[in-house]
Structure 1
Amino acid sequence: MSFKGLVKEMRDGIGSISRRGIEGRHWRNRARSHIVPDVTPLELVNQGQWANLPPELLLDIISRIEESETSWPARTVVVYCASVCKSWRDATKEIVKTPEECGRLTFPISLKQPGPRDSPIQCYIRRDRATSIHRLYFGLTPSEGESDKLLLAAKKIRKATSTEFALSLVADDFSRTSSTYVGKLRSNFLGTKFTIYDSEPPTDATSLHINNNRSSQRFHKKQVSVRTPVCNYSIATISYELNVLRTRGPRRMNCIMHSIPVSSIQEGGTAPTPKSFPHLFDDSFKSKDLNATPSSAGPVCFDSLMLKNKAPRWHEQLQCWCLNFKGRVTVASVKNFQLVASVDPTHNVSAAEQDKVILQFGKIGKDIFTMDYRYPLSAFQAFVICLSSFDTKPACE
């Protein structure tokens, strides 16, 4: 029997046990006057027979599954384990490691956790011009069953003075009131500056850049669910240098990651790693979400990490600018780039870390692009940075 069939059998068993529990209520009402032996608490019984497995056996089963299912779409089997019952979910969350530790994406929160330090996570982006939707998939190149490997989706929304990309976990719902909404990207009028907004507050709450637009002001405080993201938190800014006369060569971009300290790339440093989506905010967050004034800048309690595009070299024979993408980019495009750390010498960052490509993005076919990212960026941050390259920039090229 396949594992999916086994999970279905578990859920059927859970349902039958719940029905038997309802039928047995009359017997328990008659037995209240009698002395009965200790029994398993009702909460565990309602979870089904699979919840009563010995913890050692349960950990061994999930550990074997987690080790064997290394890539998507087979990786979904690990998620199926977490959906069986509470005890299975706790055991799975205990075993599954962050992308930085294991190089794998498992739960949705993995998309907002830093990537691995050694080798990058390889993804690709497919652009749909008709619907203005960009989809991020896990894997080397496009293949069959892409829906099973969808990580994030973004919809381009043109406005009178700016362009926005709304990001979601699914490709058919980009509403800010949806539980699948994860953030957005907004440009200025010229398309030279972009701001990245996260739907959840960063790990370091003191470095919040809070933005309240008119859509969040339409809701009354009592009408807003605490699970509904009513505010966006600015976590990074992207800027492209002006190049109106096209005399400066390819695009030049800089990214200031407000939520990532520069110490994260120093020896022994760590990047913020959220463990879960904090849907239930405390009172201070709720009051800020509803009453704060719009702001594009705020206090920062650490030196933010800055990324810059790696300078290409001029190829005399080909008469073009070139970068070594190690075979991951095959089509020349103004959108192609590689990002490295831009660090002040006083921060004591090794030369190897400064030369390491943190994010690379490039074209491999019509409306198909590769995206490879590593620590300290997350899949969400990397995808949004790449989205800024899709916007039209007449003043930069």
Structure 2
Amino acid sequence: MSFKGIVRELREMKDGIGSMSKRVGDRKHWHSRTMSHIAPDLAPNPPSDLIQQGQWANLPPELLLDIIQRVEESETTWPARAVVVSCASVCKSWRAIVREIVKTPEQCGRLTFPISLKQPGPRQSPIQCFIRRDRETSTFYLHYGLVPSEGEKDKLLLAAKRIRRATSTEFIISLVADDFSRASSTYVGKLRSNFLGTKFTVYDSQPPCDAVPQTNSRSSRRFHSKQVSPRVPACNYSVGTVCYELNILRTRGPRRMHCAMPSIPVSSIQEGGTAPTPTLFSQAYDEHFAPSPCSTVKELVTGYSSINLSEPHVQGAEPLVLKNKSPRWHEQLQCWCLNFRGRVTVASVKNFQLVAAVDPSHNVSAEEQERVILQFGKIGKDIFTVDYRYPLSSFQAFAICLSSFDTKPACE
């Protein structure tokens, strides 16, 4: 069979290794899924008898490795890259090889599985995305690509919904565009502001790498909630803060912001440094490793009643701090300007660029200090570009950009 024939067969297997009739019946449903969000990182495991009898499950490992390598190298952009996800959904042996071949965004510059949204971006060329804002529903969508396409079929990475409360504002972040419940398996984190809108806290649904839970007498209230489920992340982990300087009299020019990332050590931007890189979502996303329903809630409550999981702590690491790059006043245009290299075309108070704020003692090169890690800006009505790179992830970059959408009467 030719290579094109193999790829064509894989495209027909986007819903697993079931019968041909099931593939045809479910093809339309799978297509709508891949266009809405990245497929789940851990697919339900097929019955063992299907694994043994499947026509693709027992291929020689050398042949299987060669096939998947060719597919991975040829399908580099979405929606064609959904074929790589389909390969990982065939069976355990296929998934193991796909995980071995597919590299992290830092290594290959591409997003494939949902866990890619929690992994650092590439060191050189940034990953370019854009945010589409829906004012009527207070919803924000992060899409993969340079600019919106005409058919509005851009790859959805993350979605967020703004919820205003009496003393704060929350942005609930999800993998899908129609489910923002924190009891859902698609919940990935949230952003919460203080009363003045000057400080925002980024919460992740799973602990960062190397995080050590700190003991606390207060138990997490979410473990005692009725929403606790074997497959649901039951708490939030603080992984960053975004602070805006007060500017009540408007005498300090444009907004000034600082981002402290406790989950990322400052050593990650030093020569030879590395940033924490999760490899899997928590076991709550995997039905195969989920505890039995009859004992789940009791085990969760007794296991974590003496631990405060909302404040992870990375031992022996100084956190990375980002600051916005100071704009320059343009005499002819009579406005503050930054060089966005053509990625931002509309002047807005929301536009910003973030660089590392380091001391000379950190031994960070001047080139690295000037490197823009995250930039955000407006290109049209309710359309904003987002370009991020190492050591930030898609989730962290999206959360930081969401803070720019909240009202800040004391900062501008």
TM-score by length of 2: 0.83
| Structure 1 residue aligned with 2:39 | none
Q: Which amino acid in 1 is paired with 2:229? A: S
Choose from 346, 355, 363 the match for 2:370: 355
* 1:144-192 Cα shifts (integer Å, max 9, x gaps): 4544500000000000000000000001001111110000000000000
Could you list the per-position Cα deviations for residues 169-220 of structure 1 after superposition, in whole angstroms to 9, with x for gaps in the alignment?
001001111110000000000000000000001111227799x998615526
The answer as to 2:244 corresponding to 1:240 is yes
Q: Contact 1:132–1:155 (CA<8 Å) still a contact in 2?
A: yes
Asked if 1:122 corresponds to 2:111, the answer is no
Report how far residue 75 of structure 1 moved.
1.2
SS at match of 2:159: strand
Structure 2 Cα separation of the partners of residues 213 and 101 of structure 1: 39
Structure 1 residues 390, 289: closer, same or farther in 2, change over 3 A?
farther
Structure 2: distance between partners of 1:160 and 1:3? 54
Secondary structure of 1:11's partner? coil
| Structure 2: distance between partners of 1:189 and 1:126 | 26
Q: 2:278 maps to which residue? A: 274
Q: Deviations over 1:285-341 (max 9, x none)?
A: 865755546977867531000000000001011110000000000000000000000
Match of 1:263 among 260, 267, 270: 267
Letter in 1 for 2:340: F
Aligned to 1:100: 106
Tell me, yes or no, if the aligned pair for 1:183 and 1:199 is still in contact at 8 Å. yes
- Which residue is 1:303 aligned to? 318
Alpha-carbon displacement from aligned partner over 1:63-104 (angstroms, at most 9, x marks no partner)? 001001111111111111111111111111110000000000
CA distance in 2, matches of 1:48, 1:254: 54
Distance in 1, matches of 2:402 and 2:239, equals: 15
Is the 8 Å Cα contact of residues 220 and 308 (structure 2) preserved in structure 1? no
**Structure 2 CA distance, aligned partners of 1:238 and 1:9?**
41
Residue aligning to 1:316: 331
Deviation at 1:11, TM superposition (A): 2.4
Q: Identity, % of aligned pairs?
A: 70
Q: Give the aligned length.
A: 370
Structure (1 or 2) with the greater helix fraction: 1
Which of 170, 179, 183 is the aligned partner of 2:185? 179
Cα offsets for 1:205-249 (capped at 9, x unmatched): 227799x998615526xx833421111000001100000011000
Native 8 Å contact 2:105 2:122 kept in 1: yes
The residue that corresponds to 1:386 in the other structure is 401
Partner Cα distance (1:113, 1:130) in 2: 32
Match 2:71 to one of 53, 57, 65:
65
* In 2: Cα distance, 1:101 partner to 1:304 partner: 23
Separation (CA, whole Å) in 2 of partners of 1:284 and 1:264: 36
1:266-295 deviation per Cα after TM superposition (whole angstroms, max 9, x unaligned): 000000000000225999986575554697
Larger Rg: 1
1:112-261 superposed matches below 5 A? 112-147=118-153, 149-206=155-212, 216=222, 218-219=224-225, 224-261=228-265
Alignment check: 8 A CA contact 2:215 2:307 kept: no
How far has the Cα of 1:3 moved from its partner?
Answer: 4.6
- Amino acid across the alignment from 2:350: K
Q: How far 1:111 moved relative to its partner?
A: 0.3
Q: 1:370 aligns with which of 378, 385, 391?
A: 385
Quick one: distance in 1 between partners of 2:148 and 2:300? 41
TM-score (norm 1): 0.86
The structure 1 residue matched to 2:85, chosen from 79, 82, 91, is: 79
Q: Which amino acid aligns with 1:156?
A: R
- The AA in structure 1 aligned to 2:262 is H
Quote the residue 2:95 is aligned against: 89
Q: How far 1:46 sits from its partner (Å)? A: 3.7
Paired with 2:138 and 2:221, the residues of 1 have a C-alpha distance of: 22
* Structure 2 unmatched runs, 5+: 23-47, 285-289, 292-297
- Amino acid in the other structure paired with 1:171: A
User: In structure 2, what is the Cα distance between the partners aligned to 1:393 and 1:166?
Assistant: 19
1:208–1:129 distance in 2 versus 1, CA, 3 Å? farther
Query: Does the CA contact (< 8 Å) of 2:262 and 2:314 recur in 1?
Result: no
Q: 2-side partners of 1:209 and 1:190: how far apart?
A: 30
Which one of the candidate residues 337, 349, 372 is aligned to 2:352? 337
